[in-house]
Structure 1
Amino acid sequence: MVGSSITPEDRSRAAVLFKVGFTLLVGLSAGLVSIQVDASVEFTLSAVAVGTAIGAVLTWFTLRSIRSVQPDGLADRRERDR
């Protein structure tokens, strides 16, 4: 049987980049929406900060939910890679 060509380190790094990217995407989209309505600079920066915090919560909730419905094989592989 052919094994995975992705090393556990690469998989970890990709997971971290995905989490950071998803969080920043939500945060920056909040800032872009505030720019579209001609908000002040302070409001735009606060929208980015609050959006980023909400993005972090969404990322945590989404990944927690995904882990609960993953097939057993993926959970076993994750435990083996630790």
Structure 2
Amino acid sequence: MVGSSLTDDEKTTANRRLKIGFVLLVAGSMALMSLQIDPTPLEVAAVFGVGIGVGLVLLWFVLRNFREFRQSLR
């Protein structure tokens, strides 16, 4: 059987980067969508900040459900 080629530290770093990327993707998407209503730069920044919060909530929700799913497979 072939094992993972990543060390535990590399896995931790990769997981952290994926989580940060997910949150930034949600926040960036919300900021880009706000450009459709011709906002001021302050409003775009505010939407980006709210997007970070929404991204964190979505990340928590996805990870919680993923943990429950993995436990149901065992």
Say whether the fold is shared (TM-score over 0.5): yes
Give the paired residue count.
Answer: 72
Whole-Å separation in 2 of the counterparts to 1:2 and 1:43 = 51
Question: 2:39 aligns to what SS in structure 1?
Answer: coil
Match for 2:45: what amino acid? L
- Kindly state the Cα deviation for residue 53 of structure 1 after the two structures are TM-superposed: 0.6
* 1:1-82 → structure 2 map (5 Å cutoff): 1-70=1-70, 71-72=73-74
Structure 1 residue runs of 4 or more that deviate by more than 4 Å after TM superposition: none
Cα deviation for residue 36 of structure 1 reads 2.2
TM-score, normalization by structure 2: 0.88
Q: 1:22 aligns to what SS in structure 2? A: helix
Letter aligned with residue 4 of structure 2: S
- Cα offset, 1:43, TM superposition: 1.1
Q: Distance in 2 between matches of 1:19 and 1:60?
A: 10
- The structural deviation recorded for 1:24 is 0.5
Unmatched 5+ stretches in structure 1: 73-82
Residue aligned with 2:5, SS: coil
